[in-house]
Amino acid sequence: MKKNILFCVVFALILTSCSRHDAQKTADFFAMDTYMSVRYYGGGTDEGDKLKDATAELEKKISVTVGDSEIARLNREGRADLSEETERLLEDALDLCRETDGALDITVYPAVRAWGFTTGEYRVPDGKELDGITRRIGYENVAAGDGKASLPEGSMVDLGAVAKGYLGDRLAEMLKNDGVTSALLDLGGNIRAVGTKPDGTPWRIAVRDPGGDGVIGTLPLRDGTAATSGGYERYFVDDDGVTRWHIIDPATGYPAQSGLVSVTVIGKDGMRCDGLSTALFVMGPERAKEYWREKRDFEMILVTDGGKLIITPEVASEFEQEKGSPYSVEVTGND
């Protein structure tokens, strides 16, 4: 089986034009199974250590692979006491599961494990095994409140679909509180901008081409988040030559085959953008467009397996498609 793990889905073009008074500072570290990189201006000399420590603190609370984390304990014992932060994140994630009618489901973790995406030991589960797993998938079965959470036997929770988006907002707030007005955080598939570049122009974010190593185009980002989920992030090709990626359809337990190969969501709420990038991928292009028309509190770029970019109007007005890009463009809302 062919293996390929790509952690970064969206990356930043940091085209700064700063005065000599604007000294760029950096913080780079590995956490949450990916490399994280922060570029910032202003603040103290210890910002990098603060960001790294805050990330490690969150990971120790919510990681499914840290044995004594609150979420790992919940999965292992079926109940756990939760810190205020973990409870809030869990409840917000459940709200988004409900809002997307289960396209995002934080209890899909047993299926992710069954396909080997948590260990890299990839396999194709048989139908009987997946039938048993899907019966245990259901965000409705998670009980949370008053500092506690519980699960039915065999169910498991994973907050990975929203954690980096939440983390980006948390780290951005820390930087702002320390006087940083210009920063860019690359958290592995999630880009969080604080303000604009020091010269007042927006950060420009490059959206990767899921069909190759290049980019589709760039878009501006001002004090917000761009979160991407793509089938090419983590996948394997099975013995029959079928590509299997890590984004699982909760309804079937199989890798989602929705007609999309990449979804980028842009907005102010990092956790919401992060979770929606997964949910819209599972929904597919038509349901995703309907969802956007209903909510209209985020922007998106959908990349279909047929070679089309589906872009919301506000993004389309500033999106710069890469010269020679083979993708056709549909501006949803104009159709």
Instruction: Please choose, from the candidates 332, 259, 257, 247, the residue with its C-alpha nearest in 3D space to the C-alpha of residue 295.
Output: 332
Is residue 225 within 8 A of residue 192, CB to CB? The reply is: yes
303 pLDDT above the threshold of 50: yes
- Helix H or strand E segment including 166: helix 160-177
pLDDT of residue 267: 97
Percentage of the chain exceeding pLDDT 70 = 93
Q: Average pLDDT, stretch 231-242?
A: 87
Q: Average pLDDT, stretch 14-26?
A: 58
DSSP helix/strand/coil, 287: helix
2 pLDDT above the threshold of 70: no
pLDDT of residue 198: 93
Residues 6+ apart with CB under 8 A from 306: 259
pLDDT of residue 178: 92
DSSP helix/strand/coil, 80: strand
pLDDT of residue 221: 96
pTM for the whole structure:
0.92
264 pLDDT above the threshold of 90: yes
pLDDT single digits (tens) 130-139? 999 999 999 9
pLDDT of residue 334: 61
Q: pLDDT band at residue 233, thresholds of 50, 70 and 90?
A: confident
14 pLDDT above the threshold of 60: no
pLDDT of residue 120: 87
Percentage of the chain exceeding pLDDT 90 = 81
When the pLDDT of each residue in the chain is averaged and rounded to a whole number, the result is: 91
pLDDT of residue 13: 46
129 pLDDT above the threshold of 60: yes
Q: pLDDT band at residue 195, thresholds of 50, 70 and 90?
A: very high
7 pLDDT above the threshold of 50: no
pLDDT of residue 166: 98
What are 207's two structure tokens? 């959206």
pLDDT single digits (tens) 50-107? 999 999 999 999 999 988 999 999 999 999 999 999 999 999 999 999 999 999 999 9
What are 325's two structure tokens? 């890009």
pLDDT of residue 18: 43
Total residue count of the chain as it appears in this document:
335
Q: Which residues pair with residue 243 across a beta bridge?
A: 237
CA distances from 67 to 74, 80, 90, 106 (A): 10, 13, 18, 18
Q: Which residues pair with residue 39 across a beta bridge?
A: 26, 184
10 Å Cβ neighbour count for 65?
14
pLDDT of residue 212: 79
CA gap 273, 267 in Å, rounded: 6
CA distances from 205 to 127, 215, 318 (A): 41, 10, 11
Q: pLDDT band at residue 194, thresholds of 50, 70 and 90?
A: very high
Kindly list the structural domains of the chain, giving each domain's residue range(s) and its CATH number in brackets, ordered by start.
2-16+25-331 (3.10.520.10)
CA gap 282, 250 in Å, rounded: 9
What are 85's two structure tokens? 């932060």
pLDDT of residue 252: 95
pLDDT of residue 22: 61
pLDDT single digits (tens) 147-191? 999 999 999 999 999 999 999 999 999 999 999 999 999 998 799
16 pLDDT above the threshold of 60: no
10 Å Cβ neighbour count for 56?
14
Q: Average pLDDT, stretch 230-244?
A: 88
CA gap 47, 61 in Å, rounded: 22
Question: Could you tell me how many helices (H) and strands (E) the chain has, helices first?
Answer: 9, 19
